[in-house]
Structure 1
């Protein structure tokens, strides 16, 4: 088995905000109705965190190994964990939800992750997304788009963490880098 690699090899750009590709990270899409017997316990066994409330991200961040659980829709969660621990987490979900109706899929190699950091990191996203960043509460996960690419993002570690499809990683890096160019700050 080959070693995992991030989509862009850790690409970065330093403008008025710093843009960094992170990864590879382990990611599991979990589909299950809220209230499914054993759901919270299975998620806790898989990633060590509880289920978030609607539109929230429970995030321990890279300092603790990069663990998180995000609410993606009424019956969908995104579990984030170290890449090497995905198989163990999948087994914990299977054991914890045995006999229940659910779907868990390893989407680690189908996603890319970026971090936009700095005092003006919000300006990078404001240029690209229709989402109202002023209404983005701490701990809130937002699914939207960056230009024409589907993305999810949340405030974290002095900026924003952005998750997108790996197939558009170069496009998203280009968008974020162009948006962070010095001299293009808003107002």
Structure 2
């Protein structure tokens, strides 16, 4: 069996912040009624965390569940564990209306790290989201556009953001992030 390969093969760019491909990441799209008690229990068993609030992420070590819409969540876990977790979710949700599908190979996953203000600046150049700390905090998820493509962003911590996009546009998103992070591209707003 072949080894998984990420969209941009562990590429790294260092400028005003560091942009890096996170490599293969297990991801499961999960859809169901948010009030479904079986759903809440299944996520708790598989991830070890509760369903997050609107636009939030609940984490437990190397596993997390991110809010994507009122009836959709994205489960993040080690790549090698995604298929087994999908099967466990399907079994736990049998008899209820749901969708659980592994999408690991259909997505690209990036990390943007550095000075907290510069991380927000790099993202702000590319997404129509108010990234002021009072409006977009640590652990918040946003589905949005990054230039011309769909993406999801969140702050893992101050100074570390994560970006998910479709694998087919992974190289484009890596290049966008790299251009926005190029030395000399500072907006100077944060320096004033």
Fold shared, TM-score > 0.5 on shorter chain: yes
Please give the alpha-carbon distance, in whole angstroms, between the structure 1 residues aligned to 2:56 and 2:87.
25
SS at match of 2:108: strand
Please give the alpha-carbon distance, in whole angstroms, between the structure 2 residues aligned to 1:27 and 1:47.
12
TM-score using structure 2 length? 0.92
Please give the alpha-carbon distance, in whole angstroms, between the structure 1 residues aligned to 2:94 and 2:66.
22
Q: 1:49 aligns to what?
A: 49
Q: 1:11 aligns to what?
A: 11
Q: 2:39 aligns to what?
A: 39
* Residue correspondences, number: 183
Q: Deviations over 1:84-139 (max 9, x none)?
A: 10122112201211111100111000000000100011111010011011111221
What pairs up with 1:82-121 in 2 under 5 angstroms? 82-119=78-115, 120-121=118-119
- Is 2:164 the counterpart of 1:163? yes
SS at match of 1:169: helix
CA RMSD of aligned residues (A): 1.1
Please give the alpha-carbon distance, in whole angstroms, between the structure 2 residues aligned to 1:94 and 1:144.
28
Please give the alpha-carbon distance, in whole angstroms, between the structure 2 residues aligned to 1:149 and 1:87.
27
Would you identify which runs of 4 or more consecutive aligned residues in structure 1 move more than 3 Å? none
| Cα pair 1:37 1:100 within 8 Å, conserved | no
| Cα pair 1:122 1:159 within 8 Å, conserved | no
Please give the alpha-carbon distance, in whole angstroms, between the structure 2 residues aligned to 1:68 and 1:49.
7
- Is 2:109 the counterpart of 1:123? no
Unaligned runs of 5+ in 1: none
What pairs up with 1:41-80 in 2 under 5 angstroms? 41-60=41-60, 64-65=61-62, 67-80=63-76
How big is the shift at 1:43? 0.9
Match of 1:132 among 130, 134, 141: 130
Q: Deviations over 1:27-58 (max 9, x none)?
A: 00001011113111101222222110111112
